[in-house]
């Protein structure tokens, strides 16, 4: 039975985890003929399949004002409560319109019921589901209790009600085992673990005419060793360990290239990395001004590349994060068959390491063993090939679309398997 699936979030645009993983879910659902539609405050999905409501975005001015009144304080003015209620009712009405317009059978809130970036949207989704009885799947990427910014709150009643809610027709999914344990302990609900995935049955794209000149464009010589740090410049990425690794490799051909900018978290960490690289004699390059979500040219006429344009040219990928919700960039490196240096962050230890990958693994610091393993993977072609092929097949076994499709089939059968041939007709 083909279903109309309604994805709901604050944003479906760009390369954030929610936008990327929801698109993969839609692709997996399409394999079983289910059609996906999109409700959000900002969207790059097809117009004919989408409904865009500005107040659903976390950056909407009134939502930003409400957020400023709810966090890092323990009381809230009556006006804030009033505005939350007004916006909740408005967004609930737009959700009804979305469901009616596209004949939605199952709603999938994407992180909108996990992290309170838009409290009225979370409340609106929860109340709509309570009032309609519609089956739903909460796809939770990261929870408010994982972020210190939400620790002091004047919104505990909202958090208890909707982040996430406990509803009889809602199934919950999480992306790591730690979240699975926490949602059970804190909310009293079970959740299916569905990790982030890649289509490992489809080979990674090779460089084409557009991306063939990446190394030249970012200033690398032919014999340089391109070491890619495929992340933003934020402290939890542990980039200082990548700098130390390159220093300990002791090869002047090694160039550490960071793909993304510091963004909205300030530049103090970047300045620290620059100073550290100078002290360690490391050639550190920031190319965030040459990387974009889509291929295009900047105001100076220079090519802008996507992250996936960079991977094929890299000789090594560093991923020394101290914390990740899962680790998409780690799977991307495996997908492009690149050797990887990884730090044992908590989710890696619990969800990824037991699968049997072969990385150069650091445990909080760059040891001589890590340097030796990294050097061997860079210099020994046969050994490197055996490592990356093993990692690819391991990822294919545990983190492929096949795994995702199987999980979604089980969820949908549990939610609507009892439904009549035309569930839309039965609701009218």
Within-domain flag for 159: yes
DSSP conformation class of 394: H
Question: What pLDDT is attached to residue 266?
Answer: 78
* Span 127-142, pLDDT tens digits: 999 999 999 999 999 9
Q: Greatest CA separation found in the chain?
A: 70
Low-confidence residues of the chain: pLDDT under 50: 418-428
State the CATH number of the domain containing residue 224. Answer: 3.40.50.2000
Within-domain flag for 85: yes
**Strand order from edge to edge, sheet including 136-140:** 50-52, 35-40, 4-8, 106-109, 136-140, 170-174, 192-193
Name the 3-class secondary structure at 160.
helix
One domain for residues 181 and 307: no
Within-domain flag for 202: no
One domain for residues 236 and 169: no
Decide: 240 and 371 in contact? Cβ < 8 Å.
no
Within-domain flag for 204: no
One domain for residues 9 and 155: yes
One domain for residues 409 and 349: no
User: Total domain count for the chain?
Assistant: 2
Q: Alpha-carbon distance 413 to 81, whole Å?
A: 39
Question: What pLDDT is attached to residue 263?
Answer: 66
One domain for residues 158 and 237: no
Tokens of 7: 């994805």
Within-domain flag for 208: no
One domain for residues 192 and 220: no
Question: Please, how many CA atoms are within 13 Å of residue 400, restricted to the half-sphere of its CB?
Answer: 13
61, 126, 165, 191 from 188: Cα distances, Å:
34, 17, 10, 10
Question: What pLDDT is attached to residue 376?
Answer: 98
One domain for residues 69 and 28: yes
One domain for residues 244 and 188: no
Within-domain flag for 207: no
Domain boundaries, position 236 = 214-398
One domain for residues 56 and 72: yes
Count Cβ neighbours within 10 Å for each residue of 67-94 and write b for 16 or more, e otherwise.
bebbbeeeebeeebbebbeebbeebbeb
Residue whose structure tokens are 């996507």? 306
One domain for residues 308 and 413: no
Within-domain flag for 250: yes
Question: What pLDDT is attached to residue 377?
Answer: 97
Decide: 15 and 122 in contact? Cβ < 8 Å.
no
Beta strand 35-40 with 50-52 is parallel
Decide: 189 and 166 in contact? Cβ < 8 Å.
yes
Within-domain flag for 206: no
Angle (nearest 5°) at CA 44 between 266 and 163 = 65
One domain for residues 85 and 136: yes
One domain for residues 345 and 363: yes
């Amino acid at each position: 039975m083909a279903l109309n699936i309604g994805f709901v979030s604050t944003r479906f645009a760009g390369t954030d985890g929610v936008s990327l993983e929801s698109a993969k879910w839609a692709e997996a659902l399409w394999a079983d003929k289910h059609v996906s539609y999109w409700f959000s405050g900002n969207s790059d999905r097809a117009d004919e399949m989408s409904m865009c409501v500005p107040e659903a975005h976390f950056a909407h001015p009134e939502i930003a004002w409400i957020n400023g009144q709810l966090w890092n304080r323990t009381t809230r003015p009556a006006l804030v409560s009033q505005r939350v209620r007004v916006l909740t009712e408005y967004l609930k009405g737009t959700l009804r319109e979305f469901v009616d317009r596209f004949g939605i059978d199952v709603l999938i809130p994407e992180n909108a019921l996990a992290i309170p970036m838009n409290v009225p949207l979370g409340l609106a989704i929860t109340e709509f589901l309570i009032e309609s009885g519609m089956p739903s799947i909460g796809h939770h990427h990261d929870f408010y209790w994982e972020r210190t910014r939400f620790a002091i709150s004047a919104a505990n009643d909202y958090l208890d009600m909707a982040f996430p809610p406990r509803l009889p027709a809602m199934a919950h999914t999480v992306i790591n085992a730690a979240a699975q344990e926490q949602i059970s302990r804190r909310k009293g609900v079970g959740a299916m673990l569905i990790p982030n995935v890649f289509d490992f049955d489809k080979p990674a794209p090779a460089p084409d005419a557009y991306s063939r000149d990446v190394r030249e464009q970012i200033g690398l010589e032919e014999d340089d060793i391109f070491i890619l740090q495929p992340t933003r410049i934020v402290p939890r990425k542990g980039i200082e360990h990548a700098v130390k690794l390159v220093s300990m490799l002791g090869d002047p051909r090694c160039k550490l290239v960071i793909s993304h900018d510091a963004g909205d978290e300030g530049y103090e960490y970047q300045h620290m990395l620059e100073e550290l690289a100078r002290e360690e004699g490391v050639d550190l390059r920031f190319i965030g001004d040459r990387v974009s979500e889509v291929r295009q040219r900047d105001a100076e006429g220079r090519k802008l590349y996507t992250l996936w344009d960079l991977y094929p040219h890299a000789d090594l990928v560093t991923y020394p994060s101290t914390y990740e919700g899962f680790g998409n960039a780690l799977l991307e490196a495996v997908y492009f068959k690149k050797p990887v240096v990884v730090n044992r962050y908590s989710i890696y230890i619990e969800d990824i390491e037991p699968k049997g990958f072969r990385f150069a693994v650091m445990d909080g610091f760059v040891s001589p063993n890590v340097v030796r393993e990294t050097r061997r993977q860079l210099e020994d072609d046969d050994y490197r090939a055996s490592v990356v092929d093993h990692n690819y097949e391991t990822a294919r076994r545990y983190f492929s679309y096949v795994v995702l499709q199987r999980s979604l089939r089980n969820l949908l059968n549990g939610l609507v398997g009892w439904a009549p041939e035309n569930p839309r007709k039965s609701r009218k």
